[in-house]
Amino acid sequence: MLSFYSRRDLNFILNDLLNADQLCQFNRYAEHDSATFTEVLNTAEKLAGELFYPHAAKSDANPPVFDNGRAVLIPEIKQAVDAFCENGFIAASFGPEHGGLGLPEVIAQAAAAIFMTANLPSTAYGTLTIGAGRLIESFGSEQQQQRYLLPMIEGRFFGTMCLSETHAGSSLTDIRTRAELQDDGSYRLFGSKMWISTGEHDMSENIIHMVLAKLPDAPPGVKGISMFLVPRRCLNEAGEADSRNDVVLAGLNHKMGYHGSVNTVLNFGDNGGAYAELIGEPNKGLFYMFQMMNEARISVGLSAAALSVAGYQAACSYAGERRQGRHPDSKDPAEPMVPIIEHADVKRMLLQAKSYAEGGLALCLYAARLMDDARVLEGAAAERAFAILDLLTPIVKSWPSEFGLRANDLAIQVHGGYGYTKDYPVERLYRDNRLNSIHEGAKGIHGIDLLGRKVLQDRGQVLGLLLEDITVTIDEVRKDMSAQQLHEYADDLASACETVSTTSKTLLSGVISTGLRTSMANSTIYLDMLGHVVVAWIWLRQAHIALGKLTAGVPPADQNFLNAKLGACRYFYIYELPMVKTQCVLLSRLDETCLKADRQWFRE
């Protein structure tokens, strides 16, 4: 088994927690079966191990170089990405009607997670192409699907998202890029886009940029944003990439981490205007983008979880080998030093990291399963799945970005001085992961999204559905007399749900009594808090399954794995969940300490 992830854990999440095979009962996924899924994951593991993992440190040490308008990358990235495409990992999540494999999202994301644990930056070329392709699949014309999407699914064209500008990162309302209609129905596009991942390279025949811009007569704000497709090379009649479009690499961003994924500033239209095609209808660009953004956000959460898994795996491996010190009650220097995994504090760090890493991974794949449910279920059931997914999206994006990062931090700490060096992967994994709380909406935005748009605006209705689902688990555990050791956690979780409910009502009343700004002032804390409750739920489900299997009897080889699930669950309930109450006390105060802080305070 490769050491950057645990296949056993992935299988447990997919098979035992999420019942992925069950999806094959639905028409949409009827052509697949358990064997296909295994084969997909086997292939991902093989490619990840052979082509992604080996160059992760090298591409970190050799970031892309700007050379005369080109971005030069180490060659191993292309080899890896080519194999990713050739083996159908872009096609995986597109429907067969577009030449895709039509895999369930939960399997496609699980496969993506394997690549991400091995080498996230090199995986980004594929995942961004999937995201861009999804927009064309959902909103492009038939001709656009034919000319652009097909070669993307085939891995010949890659894709990017071009949203931000230097002055408008989080605030898309304020973008200035503009597009003008031409006589032939195409557009000329002018503007500069910032933070464009995989925006320039020579790895594919073409790069298809999905660009947000404004039409001359557009209404102000977000209602005046349209989406355009801007190819790096314009296509000829035969659909082949031909002459260079007016898209120029203006510079590279030099980042803390994520080096292998080239991050660019792109200038559009400096030489007369970039050829652009409108996607869908005018002024609906942000609406379209948000369809994809929700997927992208889950992908960010998955990236963060994957990096934390990689860090956790490295820490386990190091802690089992490195010998240092003795137990507090045995200081005889004649005794051999113990492996550091024997020290209680190292075990604490590993349990904490495990609870974050595996909890985050399970959370993200649960979200992918909800995407599948929203597709295969019908009527109210589909709507319900979609509503819960929509509520959870800011948590799925942010929780692994925050706590998975802490797992990476712990992985450094477990390694001691070695963890601070480039001889071990853990400091790189940390630096790669630090981006995830920033891109696709900085964390603060997701707090506002969760509390403001998802909880307060619908008066807690969807939150109520989530709490219902959590209560189902609580009841199942409580009714299971062979699971008595979990009953205390069920009680803790029930109590936490009660607190969430009361606190949310207080914040809702606060909107009327003290105003929206006050209720929203601590939305980031609400985000962390609800994230912990959801992950506690996921841990209880995992523990309940693990205990059931242990009770039923499993081979000795599986016992450690299942006992470890119980241990991590116990850790999470004893060390982590109690914070929820502390945070809810704060939230219920409708505290204005931060809101009312005078900006002049920060000028000294």
d(CA 92, CA 88): 6
Sequential DSSP letters for 24-71: GGSGGGTT--HHHHHHHHHHHHHHIIIIIGGGHHHHHHS--EEETTEE
Q: Name 179's bridge partners.
A: 189
d(CA 584, CA 530): 10
Contacts to a copy of itself from residues 442-461, by CB under 8 A: 442-444, 447-448, 452
Instruction: Tell me: does residue 581 bind a copy of itself (CB under 8 A).
Output: yes
Nearest 5°: CA angle at 78, between 72 and 82?
155
Binding characters for a copy of itself, 353-392, by CB under 8 A (x = yes): -x--------------------------------------
Nearer to a copy of itself, 30 or 516 (CB): 516
Contacts to a copy of itself from residues 135-174, by CB under 8 A: 164, 167-171, 173-174
Nearer to a copy of itself, 416 or 464 (CB): 416
Instruction: Tell me: does residue 191 bind a copy of itself (CB under 8 A).
Output: no
d(CA 433, CA 439): 11
Nearer to a copy of itself, 98 or 549 (CB): 549
Give me the least distance between CB of 594 and a copy of itself, in Å please: 4
Instruction: Tell me: does residue 509 bind a copy of itself (CB under 8 A).
Output: no
Instruction: Tell me: does residue 555 bind a copy of itself (CB under 8 A).
Output: no
Give me the least distance between CB of 330 and a copy of itself, in Å please: 10
Instruction: Tell me: does residue 267 bind a copy of itself (CB under 8 A).
Output: no
Stretch that binds a copy of itself, among 38-46, 249-257, 292-300, 457-465 (CB under 8 A): 249-257
Stretch that binds a copy of itself, among 273-281, 313-321, 362-370, 480-488 (CB under 8 A): 313-321
- Enter the tokens of residue 62: 């050799």
Give me the least distance between CB of 321 and a copy of itself, in Å please: 11
Give me the least distance between CB of 313 and a copy of itself, in Å please: 9
Quick one: residue 188, left, alpha or beta (phi over 0 = left, psi -120 to 50 = alpha)?
beta
Angle between helix 487-513 and 523-552 (nearest 10): 160
Contacts to a copy of itself from residues 395-434, by CB under 8 A: 412-413, 416-417, 419-423, 427, 430-431, 434
Among 439, 454, 532, 541, binds a copy of itself (CB under 8 A): 439
d(CA 229, CA 285): 11
- In single-letter form, the type of residue at position 445 comes to I
Closest by CA position to 396, among listed 330, 315, 454, 324 = 454
d(CA 592, CA 355): 33
Stretch that binds a copy of itself, among 132-140, 362-370, 463-471, 569-577 (CB under 8 A): 569-577
Nearer to a copy of itself, 201 or 214 (CB): 214
Among 217, 331, 379, 552, binds a copy of itself (CB under 8 A): 331
CB neighbour list of residue 553: distance below 8 Å, 6 or more residues apart = none
Give me the least distance between CB of 156 and a copy of itself, in Å please: 30
Catalytic site positions: 440
Identify the burial level of 473 via C-beta atoms within 10 angstroms of its C-beta, where 0-12 means exposed, 13-18 middle and 19 or more buried: middle
Residue 230 near residue 212, CB atoms below 8 Å: no
CB neighbour list of residue 581: distance below 8 Å, 6 or more residues apart = 496, 499
Tokens 């989530």 belong to residue: 466
Nearer to a copy of itself, 277 or 440 (CB): 440
Binding characters for a copy of itself, 53-92, by CB under 8 A (x = yes): ----------------------------------------
